[in-house]
């Protein structure tokens, strides 16, 4: 995995590249990961094209308007690399726009080998929720901004054996806007 990450870092050429979301979460939980989630500070398409070319892999646009791309890998340590433009002015702002505290964790990919020492946690509950296996929404807007997050909540509960915190349970079961 270190060689794989080193290759991705070499392609950044000064851009800020962060490991985010499920990849960072799974590293903390010491779970097997099938994909790598990255957020870049500028031009996600250009960076995605470089990574796809370097790995001789297929690039798919998941959401061109928000610069979100997937690279499908063959015969690699992971199946996919998802690359998106940072959602906000900074990585901290991006993390505050995510769905659950367990996914609001990041580190600069250059610090992969010592990620725990360089972790970015804008939400004070992230590590506590990871440790206690609790699903906790980041904000009151989480389900309104993306109703599919409710389905993700149930998937995470089943897949990780996490429990809902009261706040998340109330928001998911009382959501009325579609």
Q: Tell me, what CATH number does 73's domain have?
A: 3.30.460.10
71 vs 84: CA distance, rounded Å: 11
H or E element that contains 62: strand 58-63
Select from 124, 147, 169 the last residue of a domain.
124
pLDDT above 50 for 175: no
pLDDT score, position 26: 92
pLDDT above 50 for 2: yes
The answer on 178 and 112 residing in a single domain is no
The answer on 147 and 68 residing in a single domain is no
Q: How confident is the model at residue 176 (pLDDT cuts 50, 70, 90)?
A: very low
The answer on 119 and 62 residing in a single domain is yes
Q: How confident is the model at residue 177 (pLDDT cuts 50, 70, 90)?
A: very low
The answer on 138 and 116 residing in a single domain is no
The answer on 59 and 12 residing in a single domain is yes
The answer on 102 and 141 residing in a single domain is no
Average pLDDT over residues 126-136: 91
Buried b (16+ CB within 10 A) or exposed e, 27-44: bbeeeebebbbbbbbeeb
The answer on 102 and 42 residing in a single domain is yes
**Best CA proximity match to 38, nearest among 64, 71, 61:** 71
The answer on 110 and 152 residing in a single domain is no
From residue 149, give the alpha-carbon distance in Å to each of 28, 62, 136, 154: 21, 17, 12, 9
CB atoms closer than 10 angstroms to residue 145: 10
Q: What's the domain count of the chain?
A: 2
Domain that holds residue 166: 133-178
């Amino acid at each position: 995995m270190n060689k794989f990450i080193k290759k991705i870092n070499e392609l950044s050429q000064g851009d800020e590249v962060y490991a985010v979301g499920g990849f960072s979460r799974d590293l903390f939980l010491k779970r097997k990961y099938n994909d790598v989630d990255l957020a870049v500070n500028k031009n996600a398409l250009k960076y995605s094209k470089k990574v796809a070319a370097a790995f001789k892999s297929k690039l798919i646009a998941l959401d061109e308007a928000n610069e979100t791309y997937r690279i499908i890998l063959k015969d690699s340590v992971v199946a996919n690399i998802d690359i998106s433009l940072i959602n906000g002015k900074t990585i901290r702002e991006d993390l505050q726009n995510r769905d659950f505290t367990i996914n609001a964790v990041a580190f600069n990919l250059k610090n992969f080998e010592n990620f725990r020492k360089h972790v970015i946690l804008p939400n004070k509950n992230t590590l506590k929720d990871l440790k206690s296996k609790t699903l906790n929404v980041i904000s009151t807007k989480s389900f309104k901004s993306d109703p599919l997050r409710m389905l993700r909540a149930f998937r995470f509960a089943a897949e990780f054996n996490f429990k809902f915190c009261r706040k998340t349970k109330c928001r998911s079961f009382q959501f009325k806007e579609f």
